[in-house]
Amino acid sequence: MAENGPIGWRPSRALLALPPGLFVLVGALVPMAILVVFSLFRVEDLTLVPAISFDSWSKIFVDPLYRHLVGISLTYGLITAALAGLFGYPLAIGIWRMSNTWKGVALIVLLTPLYTGDLMRLYAWRLVLGTEGLVNAFLLWIGIIHAPLKILLFSPFAVHLVLFYDTLPFMVLGLLVSLERIDRDLIEASRDLGASPLDTFTRVILPLSIPGLAAGGFAVFALAAGDLLTPQLMGGTSGVTAMAMIDNLFGTAFDWPMASALAVALLVSLLACLVILGLAVSRLPPVQAVLRGGAR
């Protein structure tokens, strides 16, 4: 029968949601539950003791070091998301306006650097930003500086630059998905009604692309805040983040309860930031207008 689909059977929505639901449950919630359980254990004589103890959690709330490290991670995430949004938006608009052939080429150009691997890119950036690196050599050559700049590498600048470099494609892809869904007739209609290109952009394209901006921003924020290698290899002393501490606690210090508690605290902080940002974005007037339009 037609209503039963081409193979005579139409699965219910619950059945269709089962595989992704199981994937999320096993892939995300179960490891998180294990972390929560481990965070309640104790370590005695380098042995993990299964007991209900809130020592690790009390340290998280009492010791300012952990709050500071979580704060650094979140700051890296927020600044990277803002930079990626600011510089990625014009890129996405440029790619969106290309012909299909050039769009394909632009996407290959955008995504190929991601195939080179994290470590290789990081070491390459060290060659670019180091005291004897490409940037310093160029600045010395043109005579702007007379001694190599030391703030280029092992500084927050280096961490932000490389996090921005690593996450930019995710922002552009998120934006492109959103831009591609915009009905071109709407843009044409706004022009027919006498809107200037700036008006068309601010009143049609920008509001309709905010879901993509938010999706890209959330992805970039989570990737940058949870990055371990970039702050460690590019940040020097400023590269100690919550992730670096978690790595140290799980590995060298063998304090799994503390590492688990810090990991859960970082995740909860990330989620809280995402919820606050999501609520803030959804209350922006252009987004409200789109939501109202969508509801009609």
Partner 1 sequence: MSPLMRAYLFVFAAFLYLPIAVLAIFSFNASELIDGS
Nearest to 58 by CA among 291, 257, 287, 276: 257
If one asks whether residue 86 binds partner 1 (CB under 8 A), the answer comes out as no
Put residue 112 in one of left, alpha, beta given phi > 0 → left and psi -120 to 50 → alpha: alpha
C-beta of residue 151 within 8 angstroms of C-beta of residue 157: yes
C-beta of residue 47 within 8 angstroms of C-beta of residue 257: no
Q: Pick the piece of the chain touching partner 1 (CB under 8 A) from 60-68, 114-122, 213-221, 259-267.
A: 114-122
C-beta of residue 275 within 8 angstroms of C-beta of residue 193: no
C-beta of 84: minimal distance to partner 1 in Å?
Answer: 12
118-147 residues in contact with partner 1 (CB under 8 A) are 120-121, 123-125, 127-128, 134
For residue 146, the one-letter residue type is H
Query: Rounded to an integer, what distance in angstroms lies between the CA atom of residue 166 and that of residue 170?
Result: 9
Q: Pick the piece of the chain touching partner 1 (CB under 8 A) from 5-13, 52-60, 107-115, 175-183.
A: 107-115
C-beta of residue 182 within 8 angstroms of C-beta of residue 217: no
If one asks whether residue 110 binds partner 1 (CB under 8 A), the answer comes out as yes
Q: Pick the piece of the chain touching partner 1 (CB under 8 A) from 46-54, 113-121, 146-154, 265-273.
A: 113-121
> How many Cβ atoms are within 10 Å of 142's Cβ, its own excluded?
7
For partner 1, the binding residue among 24, 98, 151, 253 (CB under 8 A) is: 98
160-189 residues in contact with partner 1 (CB under 8 A) are 165, 168
- CB of 172 or CB of 287, closer to partner 1: 172
Query: Rounded to an integer, what distance in angstroms lies between the CA atom of residue 63 and that of residue 71?
Result: 13
Q: Which two tokens stand for residue 36?
A: 């929560």
- CB of 128 or CB of 159, closer to partner 1: 128
C-beta of 30: minimal distance to partner 1 in Å?
Answer: 37
Query: Rounded to an integer, what distance in angstroms lies between the CA atom of residue 109 and that of residue 113?
Result: 8
For partner 1, the binding residue among 90, 104, 278, 293 (CB under 8 A) is: 90
C-beta of 132: minimal distance to partner 1 in Å?
Answer: 12
Query: Rounded to an integer, what distance in angstroms lies between the CA atom of residue 130 and that of residue 90?
Result: 30
C-beta of residue 182 within 8 angstroms of C-beta of residue 208: yes
E strands of the chain, at which residues?
A: 42-44, 47-49
Q: Can you tell me whether residue 128 is helix, strand or coil?
A: helix
222-281 residues in contact with partner 1 (CB under 8 A) are none
Q: Pick the piece of the chain touching partner 1 (CB under 8 A) from 18-26, 71-79, 92-100, 228-236.
A: 92-100
Size of the site for partner 1 (CB under 8 A): 23
For partner 1, the binding residue among 26, 30, 65, 109 (CB under 8 A) is: 109
C-beta of 201: minimal distance to partner 1 in Å?
Answer: 13
If one asks whether residue 91 binds partner 1 (CB under 8 A), the answer comes out as yes
- CB of 9 or CB of 115, closer to partner 1: 115
Residues 6+ apart with CB under 8 A from 183: none
Q: Which residues bind partner 1 (CB under 8 A)?
A: 87, 90-91, 93-95, 97-98, 106, 109-110, 113, 116, 120-121, 123-125, 127-128, 134, 165, 168
